Amino acid sequence: MNARQEAAIQTPLRDVATKNMDPICWTAELIGRGTGHTVRCLKRIGLPRIVWRRPRRADSLEDVLRRAILAETARTGIALSGEEIRELIGKIVELLRNVFSGEIGVGAIPSVAELVRSGSVFSDFLVPMIRESGGLSESKREMLRRILEDNLQLRQASLEAERQ
């Protein structure tokens, strides 16, 4: 990947838009290949075409990828933490770079769905939570106590209404 391509991958689409350039043409220029090849790359990765075709102006490639991953996690119910999503984006960007530089062919790119599935370690999301619960700070414990108090009052009112 050359310096121009490296710079282009970081370019917010807003800047692409000011050049009045179609994002597909922008990517094609970035790859140095035709638009057909570019579309095949993006389709293979599984980026929803509509998301790609109508990017938000402030979006960078990473933003577009993030949205695709979020859509996939919402669709499949597979949970990824923010950090996992960031890692995954890094992985996809790396793959794109390899495709762009011609190191790997389009067929070797896993789809976003496959990446999301392979990258899913929900326990990673829970582990810090459970670890933290061992040592609840006083302020957190107080907050939880207040929640309990509120809910006990609600429950009491509810039981009284039921009795009446």
Partner 1 sequence: MTNSEFSASKKRQKTSKRTKTASAPKAPTLLVGIDLGTSRTAIASSNGHRLGVSTYVGKPKDEVSEKLFGKRLLFGDEALYNRMSLDLLRPLKDGVIQTASGTANEHVDAVQALLAHVVSLVSPLDNDVVYGVIGMPARASISNKKLLIDAVRDVFDAVMVVSEPFAVAYGLDILTDALIIDIGAGTMDLCRMHGSFPTEDDQATVSKAGDFIDQTLSDLIRQRYPRAQFTLNMIKAIKELHGYVSDKEERIEVEFTVEGRPRMFDITAELKRACLGIVSDLTKAIYRLVGSFDPEFQKRLRDNVVVCGGGSQMTGLRMLIEKALDELGGGRARIVDEPVYAGANGALKIANDMPDSFWEHLRD
Which residues make up the interface to partner 1 (CB under 8 A)?
A: 17, 50, 54, 56-58, 70, 73-74, 77-79, 81-82, 85, 122-123, 125-126, 129-130, 132-133, 136, 139-148, 151-152, 154-155, 157-158, 161
Place of tokens 């762009």: 100
Least spacing, CB of residue 155 vs partner 1, in Å: 6
Residues 6+ positions from 97 with CB-CB distance below 8 Å: 1, 9
Choice between 83 and 103, CB closer to partner 1: 83
What HEC string does 8-37 produce? HHHCCHHHHHHCCCCHHHHHHHHHCCCHHH
Least spacing, CB of residue 100 vs partner 1, in Å: 26
Residues 6+ positions from 25 with CB-CB distance below 8 Å: 35
Choice between 117 and 155, CB closer to partner 1: 155
Choice between 7 and 143, CB closer to partner 1: 143
Q: Is 68 helix (H, G, I), strand (E, B) or coil?
A: helix
Least spacing, CB of residue 21 vs partner 1, in Å: 12
Least spacing, CB of residue 7 vs partner 1, in Å: 24
Choice between 5 and 60, CB closer to partner 1: 60
Whether residue 62 contacts residue 56, with contact meaning beta carbons closer than 8 Å, is answered with no
- Burial-class residue 24 by CB neighbours within 10 Å (0-12, 13-18, 19+): middle
Residues 6+ positions from 108 with CB-CB distance below 8 Å: none
Choice between 51 and 106, CB closer to partner 1: 51
Least spacing, CB of residue 79 vs partner 1, in Å: 4
